[in-house]
Chain A
């Protein structure tokens, strides 16, 4: 259900696998998050995870999304370690009988992942490195679901 990976992965191949053998599903929604280069201002992103803890915490939220939206299945694949601009950071896939639940659960999970998931993010740029915390917009996005 949750995979933390240290190497680049191919979201298309993962989506193909997730969709296989789903004669009763009806709807799969997916979201791919990609590291932005910020026009040379971000040369690399470093995401620190706490292996074991990070998957367990994300897993609790995925379980909540499954119950809340009546999903048949959900999967999150998340990079950690150094990530170059253009590389995939995260893939969220949700499966439901109908599209509305699949879309909304995917949106909900991304809002959670961007604001509360146990990662510590460092941005490396031409002027050095800085720790990044959730933006006001990230926090407003997650509060939509309260």
Chain B
């Protein structure tokens, strides 16, 4: 599945878009994969106000994923 990072999360990670193992069935499992080798990013994903979208729709809680999901982690939106 495809993961996208925005705003300060992209700076923390040093990447904007990356493919991950499609076996993650929920957001929590995907976060564990993403943060496995990057503790700073793992902490940043848990920061207050970070929202998650799946296939460009905002989701709440530990939403379910499908193997081809596009998951985006969205820090607090700044407005234009």
Contact = CB atoms under 8 A, between A and B. Distances in A.
Interface of A: 33, 47-48, 50, 52-53, 56, 78, 89-90, 113-122, 131-134, 138
Interface residues on B, range: 10 to 19
B50 to A, nearest CB: 12
A117 B53 contact: no
A112 to B, nearest CB: 8
A33 B78 CA distance: 15
A114 B79 contact: yes
B80 A89 contact: yes
Interface stretch (B2-10, B27-35, B38-46, B59-67): B2-10
A133 B76 contact: yes
Contacts of B77: 116-120
Nearest 7 pairs between A and B by C-beta?
Answer: A120-B7, A121-B78, A53-B56, A114-B79, A115-B79, A118-B77, A119-B80
Contact of A53 (B11, B53, B75): B53
Contacts of A122: 7
Contacts of A114: 79-80
A47 B79 CA distance: 9
Nearest to A135: B79
Given A52-B56, A53-B53, A53-B56, A117 B80 contact: yes
Contacts of B74: 50, 118
B56 A56 contact: yes
Nearest to B56: A53
A114 B78 CA distance: 7
B80 A131 contact: no
B72 A119 contact: no
B80 A90 contact: yes
